[in-house]
Amino acid sequence: MSSDRRIGTETSATRAALVAATEEIMLEDGYAAVTSRRVAARAGLKAQLVHYYFRTMDDLFLALHRTRVEQGLERQAQALAADQPLWALWDTSRDPRGTALTMEFIALANHRKVIRAEIASSAERFRAAQLEGLEVVLERYGVDPDDWTPIVCTVLMSSISRFLVMEFETLGMSSGHAETVAFVERYIRKVEGERRCPAQ
Amino acid sequence: MSSDRRIGTETSATRAALVAATEEIMLEDGYAAVTSRRVAARAGLKAQLVHYYFRTMDDLFLALHRTRVEQGLERQAQALAADQPLWALWDTSRDPRGTALTMEFIALANHRKVIRAEIASSAERFRAAQLEGLEVVLERYGVDPDDWTPIVCTVLMSSISRFLVMEFETLGMSSGHAETVAFVERYIRKVEGERRCPAQ
DNA sequence: GCCAATGCTGTGCGCCTGCTTAGCATCGGG
DNA sequence: CCCGATGCTAAGCAGGCGCACAGCATTGGC
């Protein structure tokens, strides 16, 4: 039986180091570069430890994904509760690390069907939470819901920020980026006024 | 020496079949699923043929990429020259196959540094060509360049369409998509009038 | 002081990978 | 009629992969 294989504790520092190494490799070389031997080497550990703490490589990916989703949801909630929610949301969604990792996970989802469901459901959670927050915010600002509905704001902000980050981080492209950022921020300024918090 | 290795003709039908198989595998299972043996099996051929027609797997990817870039640039030029360029552009940029493949190539670019330059340069070519076309179109329509500059239109359209396709094709997500599409199309209608050509 | 739980490792199996080499059949130009 | 070019293939090599299993220390509860 392989079901009685011993698995290390979830609170182990070694385990956390392996997860951290996985994230670094994904960001630097893409998900396909994540192998048990490379992850361990990156963390200065033996390769077997990967299989001691994670039954399969998919479990490793999922562990990383879950921690990042939790952090991301928390950050998003903070942004929505901030003094200037629109600016804060725009800033967090433009975070390069988070977006690059998300893109890698989406690419991974196309290769590992097992992981797809998890990623899709977390994406839905992000969207739902952001929607809920934006509904309150936009109503408070008195935005005409026939013009800018909260759901459209959510999708637009996600797509634009993620696309820009992806082009810049992965391809090194930046043509039209400054203009597009300025365009979006003009709209934010119109609704929420001049930015008072510093850009992250 | 390995430099005198024989390589098959570029016009070979077998070669084209291998490229086609590569595209199918990328779309179905992601770029990481592309291996010489799988590509050959998909095309009903022997694995060694992949190495007969392509010196390395990177060459295979580049061959596929180049043919798709050429077709894409041509399609984009046709759209820009169409009766209703904005509608046509919006339609072509929402093509699922093209976008999904592009996303896979971008993910691949993060893993294979050699390929990154090629992909980035083609992305720049697409953007430059679209910009050039849109400048003419928007001026013809009398769009206020202080409001919607051509470069912003280009970036916005690419990011929104690509993001929607990615979410839907890869993750099966669709929440907020219909509303966002309607939102964009309202703007297009405002500038270019009711769609006269059928949606692709 | 024992004993189970826990962290870690040495060894290795079976599989898949990219790529090579040597050689076979076919075919069109001289 | 030959000879080089071309399409294709059988066989295999070196290396990386996920993962398993047995066993070694260390540690903390009893």
For chain B, the domains span 1-55, 65-192
The percent of residues above 70 in pLDDT, for chain B, comes to: 98
Using a CB–CB cutoff of 8 Å, tell me whether A116 touches chain B. Answer: yes
Average pLDDT over residues B48-76: 97
| C1'-nearest nucleotide to the CA of A7 | C6
**How many Å apart are B65 CA and D5 C1'?**
29
Q: Is A47 exposed, middle or buried (0-12, 13-18, 19+ CB in 10 A)?
A: middle
Is-contact A149 B186, C-beta < 8 A? no
* B104 pLDDT more than 50: yes
Mutate which: B155, B168, B184, vs A, most A CBs within 10 A: B155
Confidence bin at A134 (pLDDT 50/70/90): very high
For residues A26, A29, A30, A34, the Cα torsion angle rounded to the nearest 10 degrees is -60
B123 vs A contacts (CB less than 8 Å): 167, 171, 173
**How many Å apart are B35 CA and C24 C1'?**
26
C-alpha–C-alpha distance, residues B109 and A125, integer Å:
29
Question: Could you read off the pLDDT of A101-123 as tens digits, one per residue?
Answer: 999 999 999 989 889 999 999 99
Which of B8, B118, B10 has its CA nearest to residue B65? B118
**How many Å apart are A141 CA and C5 C1'?**
58
Q: Which residue is nearest to nucleotide C17 (CA to C1')?
A: B35
C-alpha–C-alpha distance, residues A20 and A28, integer Å:
13
DSSP state of B56: S
Q: Is B87 exposed, middle or buried (0-12, 13-18, 19+ CB in 10 A)?
A: buried
- Count CB-CB contacts under 10 A for residue B119: 22
Token reading at A71: 């952090």
C-alpha–C-alpha distance, residues A126 and B109, integer Å:
27
0.85 exceeded by the pTM? yes
Provide DSSP, A77-91.
HHHHTSSSHHHHHHH
Q: Tell me, which fold does domain B1-55 have in CATH?
A: Arc Repressor Mutant, subunit A (1.10.10)
Token reading at B50: 């992949």
DSSP state of A142: T
Phi, psi of B35 (to 5 degrees): -125, 160
* B2 pLDDT more than 50: no
Give the closest-approach CA distance of B133 to chain A in angstroms: 15
Confidence bin at A146 (pLDDT 50/70/90): confident
Is-contact A98 A126, C-beta < 8 A? no
The SS3 assignment for A57 reads helix
* A197 pLDDT more than 90: no
Token reading at B134: 């849109």
Say if the Cβ atoms of A164 and B162 lie within 8 Å: no
Q: Is A197 exposed, middle or buried (0-12, 13-18, 19+ CB in 10 A)?
A: exposed
Which of B158, B157, B177, B190 has its CA nearest to residue A149? B177
* A191 pLDDT more than 90: yes
C-alpha–C-alpha distance, residues A186 and B7, integer Å:
55
Using a CB–CB cutoff of 8 Å, tell me whether B185 touches chain A. Answer: no
| C1'-nearest nucleotide to the CA of B2 | C20
Confidence bin at B5 (pLDDT 50/70/90): confident
B103 vs A contacts (CB less than 8 Å): 106-107
The SS3 assignment for A175 reads coil
Q: Which residue of B has its CA nearest to A182?
A: B152
Token reading at A25: 């490799």
Using a CB–CB cutoff of 8 Å, tell me whether B163 touches chain A. Answer: yes
Question: What value does the CA radius of gyration of chain A take, rounded to a whole number of Å?
Answer: 19
pLDDT of residue A1: 41
pLDDT of residue B3: 57
> Residue with structure tokens 């592309």?
B34
Show which positions of strand D are touched by protein (CB under 7 A).
6-12, 16-21, 23
* B39 pLDDT more than 90: yes
Written as one letter, the residue type at A138 is: L
Using a CB–CB cutoff of 8 Å, tell me whether B57 touches chain A. Answer: no
C-alpha–C-alpha distance, residues A53 and A56, integer Å:
9
Rounded to the nearest integer, the mean pLDDT of chain A is: 94
**How many Å apart are B53 CA and D8 C1'?**
11
Rounded to the nearest integer, the mean pLDDT of chain B is: 94
**How many Å apart are B20 CA and C2 C1'?**
67
Which of B155, B94, B96, B81 has its CA nearest to residue B124? B155
The answer to whether the beta carbon of residue A35 comes closer than 7 angstroms to any atom of strand C is no
Sign of CA dihedral B49, B55, B58, B60: negative
CB-nearest to B29 from A104, A110, A120 is A110
pLDDT of residue A198: 77
* A79 pLDDT more than 60: yes
Q: Which residue is nearest to nucleotide D7 (CA to C1')?
A: B8
| Residue A147 φ/ψ region, left for φ over 0, alpha for ψ in the -120 to 50 degree band, beta for the rest | alpha
Confidence bin at A2 (pLDDT 50/70/90): very low
- Count CB-CB contacts under 10 A for residue A123: 21
The answer to whether the beta carbon of residue A35 comes closer than 7 angstroms to any atom of strand D is yes
Is-contact A131 A78, C-beta < 8 A? no
Confidence bin at A169 (pLDDT 50/70/90): very high
The SS3 assignment for A63 reads helix
Average pLDDT over residues A28-40: 97
* B1 pLDDT more than 50: no
What's the gap between Cα B92 and its chain centre? 10
What's the gap between Cα A181 and its chain centre? 20
Give the closest-approach CA distance of B88 to chain A in angstroms: 21
Is-contact A191 A143, C-beta < 8 A? yes
Average pLDDT over residues B17-36: 97
| C1'-nearest nucleotide to the CA of A51 | D19
